[in-house]
Each structure stands twice: as structure tokens, then as C-alpha cells.
Chain A
Amino acid sequence: MAKMKGAIVVDTERCKGCSLCTIACPFKLIRLSPTVNHKGYNFANQIDPELTCTGCTACAVVCPDGCITVYRTQMA
């Protein structure tokens, strides 16, 4: 099976910085930002320079606030 490549988009204004996605990601690709959003939360950010993300959706599944959209495609 071809290898999957994924990426996520976090709705940072909706994010409450609970960090559950950071724990759920098997590759620990998500971090909380040092800066806060308008509501004052340190929101989540994907840090994935090497495109390690497989689009496994774990982060999206655990996010209580539905902030994460996951995209996935077969590696070209």
C-alpha cells in the first residue's frame, strides 16, 4: 500500500489549548503555541517540517472542540 501523507489545519481561534491532540498524535507533531488566541488560550499548532503526519486523524478524533481538520493523500 502506498504511503499516506497527511496534514492538519487547526481552527486556532476555536482551540482551547487543552493539549489532548498533542498527546494523541502518535508522532507528537502538535504543540501548543506560546502565544494566546483572542480568548487567551495557547492554541495548538502542527509542527511537521518533514511531513511525518500520516493523516491518521487521531488528533481530530480526540479534539473536544472539533478544531482540527485532517487532510490525507497518497504520497505522489
Chain B
Amino acid sequence: MKGNNEQDVVLLKGNEAIAKAAYRYGYDAFFGYPITPQSEVLETLAIDKPWETTGMVVLQAESEVASINMVYAAGASGKCSMTSSSSPGVALMQEGISFMAGCGIPGLIVSVGRGGPGLGTIQPGQADYNQAVYGGGNGDYHCIVLAPASVQEMADFMGLAKELMFKWRAVVIILSDGAIGQMMEKVVLPPYQPRRTDEEIRQQCPWATNGLGLPGRKSNIMTSLEMDAPAMEQLNLAMERKYAQIQQEEVRCECIETDDADYVVVAYGISARIAQSAVQRLRKEGVKVGMLRPITLWPFPEQQLQQLGAQCKAILTVEASQGQMVRDVRMAVEGRCPVHFYGRSGGMIPSPTEVYDKLRAIIQ
């Protein structure tokens, strides 16, 4: 191997990368239930047996409802834990996600989307954007949503997710899809990071419900319940402040040749890769096209889009759905320029040619 250290470059499915990155980044636990197209996450962990090496706990739960509540409790006690699932499985987690958000419990959900609604198809889809970004749990809350566009990012975002979930006491969702979950690419896996010791947890998570340090402190309680409405409102306002800060600090996106762009494509994940083909082709043809790829879907790169909205002649949003993120694009652009949409759904993925054609049609 040339450029890279041969030891570390491997060919992995996105789902496998998630699993291997999990124990390398020192995750404490995985709880999950099989569902296509992400079962390889649990299967890879089962084969690699990290419980014998890093001590990571791996448990096949009885359902997605159980999984998310295991993640809830694990996070409550200061552990770094995760689950993974796909569309209907994630739907079942909504109550648990809302509980986690309500308590400020760190945890990761890897959502490998297929085409919906209902059972739909198991082919790749991005129609779970609303599910991840707007939730479906009750109440005012947000999850930090990361959208990887490559197997490498599947691995890397496991590290980012760990950092963010503890920094903000937030639920992180890695919103992927069947294509990125199932495809293999080269990936450089991270070096092993040790799991945190009890002492580190005690110091870094003084709020955690694990008994450590008692009776030298008040007992820790992890609850989202507050019967007293004025007190509950204060909790909500504190959450709002946290969310506002996250929106300030954690927006991530990739801007490709947007500086001089007359037209910009907005796409994330697998659609971004596809759209990029079309953008490159048009650039070669001399059209000033750029691409904005949101990496965090929440917080959403609103400011960047506001700016592009003022600069561009038109924006095209491409999704493997009937149009979900496009609403956020429209909201950010607020009429500054037309926002078009191209999407495929039900397990179909837009093709580079389709995106090219759509862009050409807009340009004319």
C-alpha cells in the first residue's frame, strides 16, 4: 500500500465500519435488534467479540423498543452506548429518543434508511430525514444528526458522535442509508481508544446515575418528569439554550465549488455522491455549479444556505425521498432564489444523469 499505512486500510461495508469503529473508539455498549439493511452492525460485533478485548458489551435486544431503552439507561449511567436500526425499527424508538433528549442522556442511534413508509422496501432510502430531524417523539427536542456520505465517514462519525454526545449530553443520530450501509469502500480505521474507567466517568459525568461517589454527593436522578409546569418550562428553556448553542457551534457542511456558483445542489449522504457526479460534469461543461453537502442535518447549515440563496440563480435539492430536507432548504433560503427538488423514492436512488438533466433543465 502506498499513501497509507497498510495495516489500517481495509475494505469494509459501511455497517461493518460502524461496528469496528465502535469498539476502537471505546464505546461501552451496543444494543440492537436485527433489521435489513443494517444487521451487519450487530453481526460484525458478534464475530469480533469486543467483550473479550475492549470489554464492550454487545447485546441482541428483544426489540428496538428495548434497545433504545437500554441505550437510555446505559447513557444515564455515564456509559457511551449505541444502537443501530432501520426505518420501522427507528420509528419504534421515538418514545425512547424523546426520553433521552428530555433527560439529556448521551447516546447514539445509527439509522440505516430504507424506502418507506411501513415495511416499504429494504432498498436504500432517505425518506427518514423527518424521522431523524423532526423526531416523532413528543415534546420540543432535537437530536444532532450526522449524515455520512462514505464508509470512511461511517467510521469517522462514530468518533465525532462520541465526542458530541458527551459534550452536549445529546442524542446523536447517524443517518445513513442502505447503500452506504451495504457498500464496501476502503476505510482507515481509528486506532484503539481505551474505554473510560470508572474514575474517568465519575469525573467527566458527575451527573451520571451509577452510585460512584455516594454518599459524598447528592444522589443522581435521571428523569424527564417534572409535574410542576413552571419548573418543566424552565427545563425546556434550558434545553432551548443548549440547542441554540449547538446551532451556533456544531453546524458542519461541505461546500464544493460554491464560491462562484450560479447554481448549487444541496444533497446529503448517498445523494450527495451522486449529485457530485452531475456537478463535476457540468463544471467540465463550463457551468458554474457547486454543491453544498450538509454533514449535520441538525443543526442545519442555514446561514450557509441563506448566503447561497442570495448569491445563486437557483438551488436544487436532491434526495432519495419525495422531498423532506428540501423543506429545510426552503426555510433557510426564504424565497431569496427558487429552490427546486429532484428525488427518487421507494428504494430508488437518483442517478447522476437524472441530476444532470434536472440541472440542465433548471439552467435553461
Contact between A and B in the complex (any CB pair below 8 Å): no
Please report A residues at the B interface, Cβ cutoff 8 Å: none
